[in-house]
């Protein structure tokens, strides 16, 4: 069984910097996926969390299909 949490924020750059300052360990930095910016981190129990900010969806720009990063232990 696996779990996945997807969270949307208004300003991913600000979220990323604040979370880093509080000790969050990201698997990726924010990545531009055309329709959104997104980054991934794991919570202390190892659950994958995707943080995203919509950027192009309202203009009809859709993201390329990608899979979340592999588990990094």
**pLDDT higher for 3 or 30?**
30
Within-domain flag for 66: no
Within-domain flag for 64: no
Going by their DSSP bridges, the two strands 48-54 and 4-8 should be labelled as parallel
- Please tell me the predicted confidence (pLDDT) of residue 20: 94
Say how far apart CA 25 and CA 29 lie, in whole Å: 10
Within-domain flag for 73: no
Within-domain flag for 15: yes
Which CATH number do you get for residue 48? 3.30.720.110
Structural domain including 53 reads 4-58
Total domains, the chain = 1
- The predicted-structure confidence for 10-61, as pLDDT tens digits, reads as follows 999 999 999 999 999 899 999 988 888 999 998 888 889 999 998 876 666 6
Which runs of consecutive H residues, i.e. helices, occur in the chain?
12-21
Within-domain flag for 10: yes
CB 66 within 8 A of CB 33: yes
Say how far apart CA 10 and CA 28 lie, in whole Å: 18
């Amino acid at each position: 069984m696996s779990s996945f949490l997807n969270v949307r924020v208004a300003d991913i750059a600000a979220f990323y910097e604040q979370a880093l300052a509080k000790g969050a360990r990201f698997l990726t930095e924010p990545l531009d996926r055309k329709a959104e910016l997104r980054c991934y981190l794991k919570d202390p129990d190892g659950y994958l969390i995707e943080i995203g900010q919509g950027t192009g969806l309202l203009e009809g720009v859709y993201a390329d299909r990608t899979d979340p990063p592999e588990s990094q232990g």
